[in-house]
Amino acid sequence: MLRILLLSVLAALALAEPRYMEDQTIEERVVGGEVARPNSWPWQISLQYLSGGSYYHTCGGTLIRRNWVMTAAHCVDTSRTWRIVLGDHDIYNHESREQYMTVSQVIIHPNWNSNSVASGYDIALMRLSSDASLNTYVQLASLPPSGQVLPHNNNCYITGWGRTQTGGSLSAQLKQAYLPVVDQSTCSRSDWWGSTVKNTMVCAGGGSLSGCQGDSGGPLNCQVSGQYVVHGVTSFVSSSGCNAYQKPTVFTRVSAYSSWISGIIG
């Protein structure tokens, strides 16, 4: 139902084609970690697509303006009928806190190449048809200043409804997992990700906890000066498994795209 891209060191493999996404037996979420306190990540959204009269979760995303959501390009580079769910916790149950929004425009980074996720640019913006109502359960994310790169082991959390293990099922409830930053010099070592990882990306984790299919597009929430700032958009994991050793989850580095984002949303 969700998707995240799996990469081997040499080749990019898009895991989920729509036929897999529509198989309701395939669910997805954060590997390891724990169920988040409901609405404790109030900028997290569920991106859902219409199929057969019903909507299905496929990716995460981040509310960055009342009418704009940030997600991964690979989540939205096929034409579908989308909806954004704000304020959600359990994606299979209505809890009276959700806001269901239609999408009026999808803008994928112009340099995104669906055949080469390792080239980067895995970022997209979705304009909502109307403004979100901000409240306890729905809030805007803080984004980093342009160019900011976090130090090794900076505290971060991935959040999402993706698979709970490689090949496992989706999580009904939003999960979180602690994924400290792996700095570029470490992550680009030949025994880690090597040249696959670009300086427009952020690595985090690399041990037993990771993102997995269904977490794509969601935020990497990092602690900076006492607040959580969304520094990453979940992009890909290793084709050898979601939580492969020395193959940390890789995120699009938001601060590398500040000018592109501001040029669109103002």
Residues labelled as active-site residues: 74, 122, 216
DSSP for residue 11: -
Please report which residue ranges of the chain form alpha helices under DSSP H. 18-21, 73-76, 184-187, 258-265
**Long-range CB contacts (< 8 A, 24+ apart) of 63-66?**
63/132, 63/138, 63/139, 63/140, 63/141, 64/140, 64/141, 64/143, 64/230, 64/261, 64/265, 65/140, 65/265, 66/128, 66/131, 66/132, 66/134, 66/140
- Read off φ and ψ for residue 262, nearest 5 degrees: -65, -30
Q: What residues have CB less than 8 Å from 192, skipping those under 6 apart?
A: 182, 186, 203, 206, 246, 247, 248
Spatial separation of the C-alpha atoms in residues 56 and 74, rounded to whole Å: 16
Closest among 173, 175, 177 to 207, alpha carbons compared: 177
- Between the alpha carbon of residue 18 and those of residues 56, 110, 136, 148, 239, the distances in Å are 11, 23, 34, 35, 18
